[in-house]
Amino acid sequence: MIPDWLTQDCSSVPMPASLDRGRSGFVEKTINNAARFLRDTMVSETIACRNGLLQAIDPRIKLITLLVVIISVSILRSPIVIWGIYGLTLLLAVASSISLLFFLKRVWLFIPLFSAFIVIPALFNVVTPGEPLLTVFHLAQGYDFGPYHIPGTITITGQGVLTAVTFIGRVSTSVSLAVLLTLTTQWSNLLQALRVLKVPRIFILILGMTYRYIILLVHTVYDIHVARKSRTLHYGSTVSEQRWVASRMSYLLKKTYLISLDVHKAMLSRGYSGDIRTLTIFRTRGYDYAWCLFVIFVCAFSLVIDRTMVPR
Amino acid sequence: MKKPIYELSTVSFRYLAAIPALENINLLIYPGESLSILGSNGSGKSTLLHILDGLIFPSSGVIKAFSETLTEEKLETDSFRHLFRSRVGFVFQNPDIQLFCPKVYDEIAFGPLQLGLPTGEVMKRVDDVLEMLGISSLKDRTPNQLSGGEKKRVAIASVLSLNPQVLLLDEPTSSLDLRTRHWLIGLIGELRKAGKTIITTTHDISLIERISSRVLVLDEDHTLAADRSPGEIIADHGLLHRANIIHEHETDTFVYPRKLDNIAPAKKIVNFPMTTVNKID
């Protein structure tokens, strides 16, 4: 039997003035970030499936060679050579069908965060003494704190700028190489490639499953949010929003636990006995050897030029 | 007379030692049978499948599989676990549980690899099953890139690559669109013809005559209410009503669609060479 109120026109019900018109704020942002994570994941997988220079290389060879380049960059001293290799990463991105703007955004969003705070003090004569380029301010006098000396005039030094440029060059080139590796390799292949570094099979399996189920759970979080949003006329108070988030976190934790139990059953059902066996099918071709030679040449050439430009 | 694959004698199961899921089940299942387990939500259908797959064990009573008593200790022995897991395949209701590998290809290869089959044989099986189920184009995809129907196909492929003699299907048609449902019914028909023992749980009465030759009905008190042919079960409206499978208003008007119209047949079933471990005596 349908109650009377269910047959009435809902548009006639006025909005109560007492309703708290709180905003979603934190929750909305978190969920939007979750959605962005899903979108980025999809974009990364799409790029990895494109036809491009780096996509065509055996993931094992790609992992090892890019690692070698990162190590080489870390021992280079000349900022010109380091930035030259950075330029090469941009060319590699273009040759791998990656939009340059997308690639630059990926790399440079992280670099200020990680390196700026470290490198800013190195600009000043307090940390890196040298030829003053720009006077920032004057103190009444110099100060000494044990072995540390603070000069009376704080300046940005030429040596400080060189140190900063070299440091940022190293970080940006290394991050670019890592981003190139992850963008041009399917996550599953990248995990399998870790076997060449002798990472245990079980560890690779767990990493793969973690990635798989994180995405599934992020989907669940998004679905929960959308389901609630579709029934939300007014956001509640901050306290009620916090309670809701806490209750969903607890639900998700329980769900994660139940999924892990079920997945274990599904593994047992198909013969898993604690000793994992996996299939790795990678084929090394002439193209991969050519890439190896190219990387060896670039690294050797850079080291020679570097030592010529900045002798010990 | 063939030996039964499964012998259940007064099997009961309680979750957390308190909540009853199965009560006093006596059952024999023979090779090549197509068995549907019909029951309402919470009647114990999935629990029974989990017991048949050796994932959980009876609180009381005895289950024998392939003439051996199925216990946790027994399944910890390498030889029996290898024999049992190669003969019994379980397709879970939720494919997301079953698809835990990074890629579809790895997923289908997982089972045969765990059984220690040579790499060449594993790859042949994977390629054959991909082709048989028409999902070769999905082999490099991650599970997150699959639709619901595709996930179900991959989940079935991941079990078929084991070449099991017994196939346990938990609510196989739930949440499937009409085309995938018809495809699945066609596939089950082909697997029946290939001599597989198929045990399916469902609460969808329109499915049972299409996929099975024998039907068990689990009552809401978790006991076995009936064990008969599909035709007899469908005709017994009183039983179906008592077991909460059909509503009282449906008993007068219930018409079962007996014609299997427009069912897309599955591609040719691949018969993998039977290894010594999964051949049934």
Calculate how close chain B gets to A143, using CA atoms only, in Å.
59
Domain that holds residue A263: 50-185+246-267+284-309
A271 with B90: Cβ contact below 8 A: no
- Report the half-sphere exposure of B239 (CA within 13 A, side-chain side): 20
* A118 and A101 Cβ atoms separated by less than 8 Å: no
Q: Mutate which of B56, B93, B100 to disrupt the A interface (most A C-beta within 10 Å)?
A: B100
Predicted TM-score (pTM) of the model is 0.76
Domain contains A241: no
User: Residue B99: is its pLDDT beyond 80?
Assistant: yes
Distance in angstroms (rounded) separating the CA atoms of residues B103 and B140: 6
Q: Is the pLDDT of residue B264 over 70?
A: no
Tell me the average pLDDT of chain B. Answer: 86
Instruction: Please indicate, yes or no, if residue A24 is contained in any of the structural domains.
Output: no
What is the DSSP code string of B119-180? Answer: HHHHHHHHHHHHHHTT-GGGTT--GGG--HHHHHHHHHHHHHTT--SEEEEESTTTT--HHH
3-state secondary structure B88-100: EEEECCCHHHHCC
Contact assignment for B142 to A45 by CB distance below 8 Å: yes
Residue A251 lies in a domain: yes
Q: What are phi and psi of A162, to 5 degrees?
A: -60, -45
Task: Out of A5-9, A118-122, A237-241, give the one with best mean pLDDT.
Answer: A118-122
Q: How far is A184 from chain B (nearest CA, A)?
A: 15
Contact yes or no for B100 and A216 at CB 8 A: no
Residue A195 lies in a domain: no
Q: Which of residues 121-180 of B touch A (CB under 8 A)?
A: 122-123, 140, 142-145, 158-159, 162
Helices (H) and strands (E) in chain A, counts: 11, 4
Give the Å distances, CA to CA, from B247 to A61, B38, B40, B240, B255: 63, 15, 11, 8, 13
Overall domain count for chain A: 1
Residues of A with CB under 8 A from a CB of B: 41-42, 45, 49, 186-188, 191, 208-209, 211-213, 215-216, 219, 259, 262-263, 265-273, 276-279, 281
Average pLDDT, chain A: 84
Q: Is residue A107 in some structural domain?
A: yes
Instruction: State the nearest Cα–Cα gap between B103 and chain A, in angstroms.
Output: 7
pLDDT value of position B62: 96
Question: Quick one: pLDDT band at residue B161, thresholds 50, 70, 90?
Answer: very high
> Does A291 reside within a domain?
yes
User: What value does the mean pLDDT take over residues A194-205?
Assistant: 86
Retrieve residue B180's tokens: 């995938």
Q: Which among B15, B4, B41, B87 is positioned nearest to B201, based on CA atoms?
A: B41
**How many of the other CB atoms lie within 10 Å of CB of A179?**
18
How many A/B residue pairs have CB atoms within 8 Å? 95
Subunit contact A272:B114, Cβ cutoff 8 A: yes
Tokens describing residue A126: 């307090």
Q: Is the pLDDT of residue A235 over 80?
A: no
Q: What count of residues does chain B have? A: 281
CA-nearest residue of chain A to B80?
Answer: A271
pLDDT at residue A3, rounded to an integer: 81
> According to the per-residue pLDDT averaged within each range, which of A68-82, A97-111, A112-126, B256-270 is highest?
A68-82
Of B102, B115, B142, the CB nearest to A271: B115
* B50 contact A CB<8A: yes
Q: Which of A37, A41, A291, A34 is nearest to A187 (CA)?
A: A41
Burial class for B125, CB neighbours closer than 10 Å (0-12, 13-18, 19+): buried
Written as six digits, the tokens of B215 are 């039907």
Contacts of residue B166 in chain A, CB cutoff 8 Å? none
Does some domain include residue A234? Answer: no
How far from chain centre, in Å, is Cα B168?
Answer: 2
* Maximum Cα–Cα distance across chain A: 91
Structural domain includes residue A43: no
Task: From B113, B23, B232, select the one nearest A205 (Cα to Cα).
Answer: B113
Question: Cβ distance B276 to B163 under 8 Å?
Answer: no
